[in-house]
C-alpha cells in the first residue's frame, strides 16, 4: 500500500505512471456518463472514507465520482460530525477505528501534522485532500489538464502569480519532480514555504521567485493563480489583498505570456480579485477541464495507493 501525502514523497516513475494511467482510464471510458463505472471496476467491494475539516465542492464530488467509477463506495464525513473534530478522541484511536471500516482514507484538514499523525496509526492508505501546506491531488489533476492541452509538461514553463500558498507549494514539488520551469511572482511576505523552496533548489529545479508579475509570465506556457485568502488564513485580510493587487491575472498579464498560453485556477475563485472574469471565461482558460479532471487524476491516485 502507498500513502499519497506530498508530491515530493513519490518517485518520478510513480508520478508519471499515475498521470499516464489517468489518461488511459479516461480514454477507455469513451462516452460513458460520470455515474457509469469503468468496465474492470478495480475498487469493487471496497470503501473510501472521506473526512472534511474544511469546506469543499470539487474534492468532495470528484472523489465520490472517482470511487463510483472504480466500482467502490464512499462514506463522506464532516469533521464536526465525528469525535476527531470535537477533540474527544485521539487521532491514533480514530485512525485505528477507521482502518476497521474502510480500505482507504482521504482527509482534508487545516493541520498537515494531523495527516502525518493519521498515517502513523492507519492500517490503510491515506490521501491528502488539502492541508495548510499542500494540495497534491489538485496538482496531479492540473498536470493531466496541462498535458491534454499542451503535451508533455517536462521542460515547459508555468507562471504562478499571487499568494505562495498550499497549491503553489505542491506546484513547486511537481516542478522539481516533473522537471518543468516554475516562475513565481508574489510579494516577499507571501512567498511559498521555505522548506519546499529549498527542496526545489537542492534538487536542481528551475525555479524563479520574483516580485515582478511580468517577469514571471514572460515566455510562460501556462499562467496560474489561486485565491488570495485561503481557507483558514489568519492575519489581516485587507492588508494581504492590497499587497497582492498587482499580481491579478488580467488580459495584460495574459498578453505577456506566450500567445497560446493557457490559464489555470484550482477554484474556487474570487473573480475580479486574483483573476478577472475576462480571463477566467476567456478562450485561454481551462478551469472547467481542471475541475473535471480531478475525477480522472484521483482514480489513478486511488489505484496507486492500493498497489
Ligand atoms: N480545488 C479544490 O480543491 O476545490 P474544493 O475546495 O471545492 O474541493
Ligand atoms: N488555497 C486554497 C485552495 C482551495 C482549493 C485554500 O486552501 O483555501
Whichever domain contains 239, its CATH number is 3.40.50.1370
In a domain, 2, yes or no: no
Main-chain phi, psi angles of 166, to 5 degrees? -55, -40
- For residue 241, the model assigns a pLDDT of 98
- For residue 105, the model assigns a pLDDT of 98
The torsion region of residue 140 among left (phi > 0), alpha (psi -120 to 50) and beta comes to alpha
> What are the angstrom distances between the C-alpha of 187 and each of 27, 88, 98?
41, 40, 42
In a domain, 1, yes or no: no
* Residues 68, 40: Cα–Cα separation, whole Å: 12
- For residue 166, the model assigns a pLDDT of 98
Q: Is 265 a catalytic residue?
A: no
- For residue 87, the model assigns a pLDDT of 83
189 with 124, same domain: the answer is no
- For residue 86, the model assigns a pLDDT of 81
- For residue 85, the model assigns a pLDDT of 77
In a domain, 106, yes or no: yes
Residue 214 belongs to what domain range?
Answer: 138-290
* Residues 85, 17: Cα–Cα separation, whole Å: 35
| Cα 204 to middle of ligand 1, angstroms | 30
Q: Which three cell numbers stand for residue 113?
A: 501534522
Q: Is 135 a catalytic residue?
A: yes
Instruction: State which ligand 2 atom lies nearest to the alpha carbon of 56.
Output: 5
Instruction: Identify the residue whose C-alpha is closest to ligand 1 atom 4.
Output: 58
- For residue 211, the model assigns a pLDDT of 98
34 with 169, same domain: the answer is no
201 with 300, same domain: the answer is no
Per-residue pLDDT of the chain in tens (307 residues, 90 and over written 9): 999 999 999 999 999 999 999 999 999 999 999 999 999 999 999 999 999 999 999 999 999 999 999 999 999 999 888 998 788 999 999 999 999 999 999 999 999 999 999 999 999 999 999 999 999 999 999 999 999 999 999 999 999 999 999 999 999 999 999 999 999 999 999 999 999 999 999 999 999 999 999 999 999 999 999 999 999 999 999 999 999 999 999 999 999 999 999 999 999 999 999 999 999 999 999 999 999 999 999 999 999 999 9
* CB hemisphere CA count around 257 (13 angstroms): 26
In a domain, 128, yes or no: yes
59 with 160, same domain: the answer is no
In a domain, 149, yes or no: yes
In a domain, 49, yes or no: yes
142 with 131, same domain: the answer is no
145 with 284, same domain: the answer is yes
Instruction: State which ligand 1 atom lies nearest to the alpha carbon of 135.
Output: 3
Is the preceding peptide bond at 268 cis, omega within 30 degrees of 0?
yes
| Cα 26 to middle of ligand 2, angstroms | 26
Nearest CA to 251 out of 222, 218, 284, 286 is that of 284
| Cα 60 to middle of ligand 1, angstroms | 8
Cβ partners under 8 Å of residue 34, min gap 6? 65, 69, 295
37 with 163, same domain: the answer is no
49 with 91, same domain: the answer is yes
Give the per-residue SS3 of 199-227. Answer: HHHHCCCCEEEECCHHHHHCCCCEEEECC
124 with 226, same domain: the answer is no
256 with 301, same domain: the answer is no
Our count of domains for the chain comes to: 2
The answer to whether the beta carbons of residues 200 and 226 sit under 8 Å apart is no
168 with 267, same domain: the answer is yes
151 with 268, same domain: the answer is yes
In a domain, 300, yes or no: yes
The answer to whether the beta carbons of residues 19 and 144 sit under 8 Å apart is yes
In a domain, 36, yes or no: yes
The full DSSP string for 150-181 is: HS--TT-EEEEES---HHHHHHHHHHHHHT-E
Amino acid at each position: 500500500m502507498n500513502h499519497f501525502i506530498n508530491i515530493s514523497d513519490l518517485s518520478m516513475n510513480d508520478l508519471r505512471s499515475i498521470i499516464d494511467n489517468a489518461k488511459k482510464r479516461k480514454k477507455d471510458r469513451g462516452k460513458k456518463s460520470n455515474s457509469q463505472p469503468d468496465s474492470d471496476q478495480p475498487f469493487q467491494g471496497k470503501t473510501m472514507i472521506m473526512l472534511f475539516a474544511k469546506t469543499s465542492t470539487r474534492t468532495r464530488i470528484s472523489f465520490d465520482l472517482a470511487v463510483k467509477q472504480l466500482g467502490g463506495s464512499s462514506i463522506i464525513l464532516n469533521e464536526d460530525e465525528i469525535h476527531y473534530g470535537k477533540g474527544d478522541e485521539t487521532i491514533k484511536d480514530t485512525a485505528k477505528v477507521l482502518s476497521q471500516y474502510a480500505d482507504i482514507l482521504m482527509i482534508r484538514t487545516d493541520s498537515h501534522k494531523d495527516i502525518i499523525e493519521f498515517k502513523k496509526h492507519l492500517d490503510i492508505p491515506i490521501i491528502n485532500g488539502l492541508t495548510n501546506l499542500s494540495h497534491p491531488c489538485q496538482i496531479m489533476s492540473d498536470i493531466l489538464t496541462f498535458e491534454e492541452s499542451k503535451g508533455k509538461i517536462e521542460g515547459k514553463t508555468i507562471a504562478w502569480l499571487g499568494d505562495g500558498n498550499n497549491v503553489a507549494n505542491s506546484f513547486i514539488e511537481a516542478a522539481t519532480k516533473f522537471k518543468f520551469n516554475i516562475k513565481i511572482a508574489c510579494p516577499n511576505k507571501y512567498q511559498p514555504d521555505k522548506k519546499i523552496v529549498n527542496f526545489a533548489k537542492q534538487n536542481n529545479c528551475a525555479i524563479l521567485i520574483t516580485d515582478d508579475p511580468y517577469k514571471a509570465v514572460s515566455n510562460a506556457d501556462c499562467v496560474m493563480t489561486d485565491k488570495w485568502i485561503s481557507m483558514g488564513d489568519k492575519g489581516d485580510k485587507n492588508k494581504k489583498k492590497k499587497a497582492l493587487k498587482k499580481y491579478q491575472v488580467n488580459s495584460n498579464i495574459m498578453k505577456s505570456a506566450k500567445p497560446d498560453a493557457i490559464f489555470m485556477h484550482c477554484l474556487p475563485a474570487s473573480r475580479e480579485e486574483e483573476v478577472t472574469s475576462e480571463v477566467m471565461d476567456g478562450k485561454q482558460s481551462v478551469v472547467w477541464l481542471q475541475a473535471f479532471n480531478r475525477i480522472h487524476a484521483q482514480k489513478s491516485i486511488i489505484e496507486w495507493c492500493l498497489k
